Homo-oligomer: A and B are copies of this chain.
Amino acid sequence: MTHRSRLAGFIIDCKDAPIEESARFWSAALGFTIDDPNEGGEGKYAVLGGTPSDLHIEVQRVDHDSRVHLDIETDDIEAEVARLLALGAREVSRPHDARWVVMQAPTGQRFCVVRMKQPGKGATPNVWRAGD
């Protein structure tokens, strides 16, 4: 059995700030476009565009302290979580009907494992065999 994963991109978590203002700063700072100023219509997510290798770079409004977190995307969330657990990460939570898994690296950073949406775009995914 094999599965695939890769760095999806990173999420810029912004505490309590209006998503439009946060997206405006980060798109201007990094020189990216705002592809979707309000993804999902909840005032929580803004997607940046024109990113290197089609990395998914998103600004999010959050309740916790501001930070940057990485997303790993995969075509098999359970296999990828198992692989990362074996590397020393731990599972933190499965929010939003378990659509993604929040994990914590042994070095302390939170990151998310999410479903791969466009395997044909961006960098070639890594292929892992069970036991890798």
- Also in contact, A126 and B53, with CB within 8 A (given A25-B105, A67-B68): no
Alpha-carbon distance between A55 and B53 when the two chains are bound, in angstroms: 10
Q: Which residues of B contact A21 (CB under 8 A)?
A: 106
Copies assembled: 2
- The secondary-structure label for the interface of chain A is mixed
Alpha-carbon distance between A10 and B51 when the two chains are bound, in angstroms: 14
Q: Is A119 an interface residue (CB 8 A)?
A: no
Instruction: Decide if B15 touches A108 in the complex (CB within 8 Å).
Output: yes
Instruction: Decide if B30 touches A108 in the complex (CB within 8 Å).
Output: no
Q: Which residues of B contact A114 (CB under 8 A)?
A: none
- Also in contact, A72 and B30, with CB within 8 A (given A52-B52, A122-B52): yes
A39-97 contacts to B, CB under 8 A, are: 51-53, 55, 59, 65-70, 72, 84, 87-89
